[in-house]
Amino acid sequence: MSKPEKIIIILGGGLVKNPDNSFRTARFNETGDNSGLIGGGARVDAAAYLLQEDSERLIIASGGQGILPGIGQHPDISKVIKNELLALGVEEKKIIEENKSDTTYQQLIELKKLLTDKNVIEVVMITNQWHLPRVQAMIEGNADFKDFYQKINCQFLTAEEIVIKEAPEQWQKIIEAAYQSPAMQERLAAEERGIKQINEGTYKYA
């Protein structure tokens, strides 16, 4: 049997193009797409904090080309996440890229494939507070997902709760302001519609 592994998963979100044509994960005052705020960059910081707590963990950076209108040609989301982790001092050997997925649903499929071949003893999946209910609805609504993610005892944490716990002076006001903004209300409304469609069986997974 392979070595027991502890895994942190970062679900990839939107990207923002910098003035120098490089890319980064979206901050809490940036939409990154047409559906409101994202705050995906906090997922990267959150994973780095968790790695500091237990250096034996590995990080899977998940996301391929994604569905990112309006930003032109860009690297895989997983690559951008990896670069940001490296900038935070995470060792390259600690990072695994999953770059085949474009949507949240595809991420869950590709992550299942990756984790099936590993002797996993701990899994923590990180995304944003606004995003997590839809992720969990997808898993609950798919018997294969539900059985698998229960089998590996996958824990779901929000980036917001992690970064506020670790660095409240940096994150608390930013996150509170973001969640009170019209752009975040737009995002939350879109997520609620998606969850309703999942529960009704009308959600478009492609």
Give Cβ neighbours of residue 90 (< 8 Å, ≥ 6 apart). 48, 51, 59
Domain that holds residue 138: 7-200
- pLDDT value, residue 197: 97
- In whole angstroms, give the CA distance from residue 95 to residue 27: 22
Total residues found in the chain within this entry: 206
Q: Does residue 2 belong to any structural domain of this protein?
A: no
> Domain with 33 in it: what CATH number?
3.40.50
Q: How many domains does the chain have?
A: 1
Q: Indicate if the alpha-carbon torsion angle 53, 57, 60, 61 is positive or negative.
A: positive
- pLDDT value, residue 61: 98
Q: Does residue 53 belong to any structural domain of this protein?
A: yes
Q: Does residue 206 belong to any structural domain of this protein?
A: no
Over residues 31-35, mean pLDDT: 61
pLDDT tens for each residue of 58-94: 999 999 987 776 777 889 999 999 999 999 999 999 9
- Region label for 204, one of left (φ > 0), alpha (ψ between -120 and 50) or beta (otherwise): beta
pLDDT tens for each residue of 145-203: 999 999 999 999 999 999 999 999 999 999 999 999 998 998 999 999 999 999 999 99
Average pLDDT along the chain = 92
